Chains A and B, each alone.
Chain A
Amino acid sequence: MKSLGSIRRSFAPWADPASKPFISVKNVTKKFGDFTAVDDLSLNIYTREFFALLGASGCGKSTLLRMLAGFEQPTSGEIILDGQSLAGIPPYRRPVNMMFQSYALFPHMTVETNIAFGLKQDGMPKADIAERVGQMLKLVKLEKFAKRKPHQLSGGQRQRVALARSLAKRPKVLLLDEPLGALDKKLREETQFELMDLQQELGLTFVVVTHDQEEAMTMADRIAVMSHGKVAQVATPAEIYEAPNSRFVADFIGDVNIFDGTVAAAESGYLSIETGNGFPVRMASPEKLAIGAKAAVAIRPEKIRVSRQPPAHAPVNAVEGEIWDVGYLGDMTVFHVRLKDGRVVKASSLNAVRAVEDPFGYDQQVWISFGEDAGVVLKD
């Protein structure tokens, strides 16, 4: 298989104003009684994109997916697929297929007949069905299991059958509802990469719903972080992680330290923020905030250094504290450093060498520090 690197790097149709979205969700609202599951939501998904809807349970991501599949109708707003409105089109007439969280394999059919189900329904000639099923079985490496029933398969194999079945009709868009949720961690990580390769190879548009941020970060071209039926941010995984647009997104994705304060000074491209108790922070920021405005600085733990001596730029972007907790995770070590005013700052460092000569221990006095581009300034 060809390397994905070059394709991936240049793939950014969302940044190109000339490219037309393949799926357009326009001001869609879905209400169940009094409960608003999806609230005036708009987003665009492009051809061949691997798009992830990420959020906690109840944020509306599954409802949005079910509206794309046709199992739910929007209360208001509309969804356009390939230039056509999907309003009123039932699931069996949509050029999309879905892979269900529970896999929903037909228990009375073999692997083969499960995969052939949709093709048979479309009246495809028998010989063509056999050929397509053969291709699909090969694609998901289940040739030997064609005659088995779903209950005779392992969880991972069932997941592959579900995938093969949903791909058999060559849909324009594949919807995946928590596709890896039922697999154990190791298998999940392997399958993530397999799914990415598959999506590239087939050139399909994937929309995946997940609550697992790692899964979304690994697989997706872009992620829509959802909360309470609205999209909080749509961006590439790197942008979401390094430049969250709100406190919610910063907090939802990964670990973060948030320092609240007020803007003390602003100069070209930099903001100085007083976070209290003599801990001034100077941070690069495109935001133009007025002096005295409330702001917060969000910094990821791995961007914070822990040292015994104060850095040269102290006291700006540096503060003294005491090691409160140490968590050794193998690949890295997490420190909880307690500042004098009681705030606890998370810092992590990569264990690049096997044995550190003089590791930090509990109750030690240390300095934490970070660079001027280590975090982002969030408006309150």
Chain B
Amino acid sequence: MERVASALFSRLVIIIPYAWLLFFFLIPFFIVFRISLSQTAVAMPPYRPVFDLFGGLSGIMEKAREFSLDNYVWLTEDVLYFNAYVSSVIIAGISTILTLMIAYPIAYGMAKAPKSIRPTLLMLVILPFWTSFLIRVYAWIAILKPEGLLNQFLMSINVIDQPLIILNTNWAIYIGIVYSYLPFMVLPIYSSLEKMDHTLTEAALDLGCTPFSAFWRVTFPLSLAGVVAGCLLVFIPAVGEFVIPDLLGGSETLMIGKTLWNEFNANRDWPVSSAVATILLLILVIPIVFFQNAQAKADGEGR
């Protein structure tokens, strides 16, 4: 009896993550995908066809015939969407590289710090999350605007005599993304560096590496898993980022999150915005799947 119960329990435990994925990812994605195949309508909800569960199987089949790929075709016809995707990927890419360049030294310093102060350092990295994200982004407006804190400071020490125009440019977006996503880059890199055996560095030194080459030949390659995880954690949400480009970016900044928001709220075109979202997901998922396949292959080598 007890064994049956424990077997049942262990199955239940396995089911939980799958159930989570099913209910909070697959089903919502399926709904979005289904809307992307529909047409807009002045109705509630604002698209056609709407399924009626009481129409029977033939009714459902009838309505399913109304599905079309028109919205996807539409996305390819207007160059605005293509440009928005490309510029989102570029902005997210640049931001990810900047975040990595700032986060790696921070994580390295934390991993090399005495064990006793590491929890404090971790705490400091996480601390900004205790303030609302929106408030922190608004605070950057106060810092970056022409008469803001940064310009006042630089002018008071006579580094510049004209205020720098940072707000409402791509630079403000980079700053916003780097600032907001820094912990997501620091934490995985820190965890991969922290568990690294320091005798590996000593072995590299012993075999003739200077500290610099020991870093590039041993430490960095071994922290790659953390670097990749951090880059994905920053790049993926940054591509679809809406709040930062909306508040800090200029009116000419084109990002897919903003486009999606416009389609959804201003145009009230749910099917097209669903198509935009579906394509965005594919753009993000396909390279990651390829990457992971390559990774798995590399791991399997020499077996």
Contact = CB atoms under 8 A, between A and B. Distances in A.
Interface of A: 69-71, 90-92, 97-98, 100, 102, 104-108, 110, 117-118, 121-122, 147-149, 152, 165-166, 169
B302 A69 contact: no
Given A92-B210, A104-B199, A121-B213, 18 more contacts: A69-B202, A70-B205, A71-B202, A90-B205, A91-B202, A92-B205, A92-B206, A97-B207, A102-B197, A104-B202, A106-B203, A106-B222, A108-B222, A118-B208, A121-B207, A122-B208, A165-B207, A169-B208
A89 to B, nearest CB: 12
Nearest to A71: B202
Nearest to B199: A104
Interface string B194-212: 0001011011111111100
| Interface secondary structure of B, over-half rule | helix
Residue of B204, B208, B301 with highest tally of chain A CB at under 10 A: B208
Interface residues of B, number: 20
The 8 closest A-B pairs by CB, nearest first: A118-B207, A104-B203, A104-B199, A121-B208, A147-B302, A91-B205, A98-B206, A92-B208
A169 B208 CA distance: 9
Contacts of B206: 69-70, 91-92, 97-98, 166
Contacts, number: 63
B252 to A, nearest CB: 44
A97 B210 CA distance: 15
Interface of B: 197, 199-200, 202-210, 213, 217-218, 221-222, 301-303
A118 B208 CA distance: 6
22 contacts: A69-B202, A71-B202, A90-B205, A91-B202, A92-B205, A92-B208, A92-B210, A98-B203, A98-B206, A100-B203, A102-B197, A104-B197, A104-B200, A104-B202, A105-B203, A106-B200, A106-B218, A108-B221, A117-B217, A121-B217, A152-B302, A166-B206
Contact of B209 (A92, A98, A105, A107): A92
A117 B202 CA distance: 13
A139 to B, nearest CB: 17
